Structure 1
Amino acid sequence: MHADPQALLHAIERELKLLSWWQAVPPAPEALASGEPFCLDTLTFPQWLQFVLLPRMQALLDAEAPLPTRISLYPMATESFKELAEDTRALEEAIARLDEALSGQRVPRQE
């Protein structure tokens, strides 16, 4: 019953683009090299999704390498997006579904 991780990565990309958060120019290499979780000190969460999560997950899929099974992005997404005017529900849902597909556990949704 788990969704295809490849399809979920595409859904996250699509939602970032629909929200006009997709960037043509990547951040500086130093920003991507942050040691903080989610590069919190150098990137926004949408930037982290685009420039860290999506490429790393795609590389694992391309290499047919094992995917992470301990993942919990949804709480960070809801926290990051809670003050925004944009409707981020579809992006949050895609992230929750990715968490579920990889961890094998149901992610409780926020109302």
Structure 2
Amino acid sequence: MNNFNNTVLLLLKEIECEMQQKLLWQSLPPNPDAFLSEQPFAIDRMSSYEWLQWIFIPRMRALIDANAILPRNFSLHPYFEESLKEQEEAAELLSLIKRLDELAKS
């Protein structure tokens, strides 16, 4: 595994741990219909946390496991900053997401 993929994997784990500490990590997936969304971030059918847990993190891990090329130049932070603006406890999660964005742009 290359250094970039390894760093992404570590950041994904940190995001997962932060979500678990803040009790945002869910034990059951959303309704199967939620996965049919065609909107960015499945905004019409999932919360930002659900999208992160059930779509983004698994897809990134699957790409890493397959030694595939990871997407670059994505920007998750603006969406999460807006969706979590009322939640002071999300500061560390936002920081981790910003680090992931910055890594993807490097």
The TM-score, its normalising length taken from structure 1, stands at 0.87
Instruction: Give the superposition deviation at 1:70.
Output: 2.3
* 4+ runs deviating over 4 angstroms: none
Counterpart for residue 89 of structure 2: 87
Counterpart for residue 42 of structure 1: 45
Identical positions, percent: 41
Instruction: Give the superposition deviation at 1:29.
Output: 1.7
Identify, as 1 or 2, the structure richer in helix. 2
Counterpart of 1:89, as a letter, is A
Q: What whole-Å deviation, never above 9, does each CA across 1:21-58 have from its counterpart, x for those lacking one? A: 11000012210120000000000000000000000000
Structure 1: 5+ residue stretches without partners:
105-111
Aligned residues: 102
Structure 2: 5+ residue stretches without partners:
none
Counterpart for residue 105 of structure 2: 103
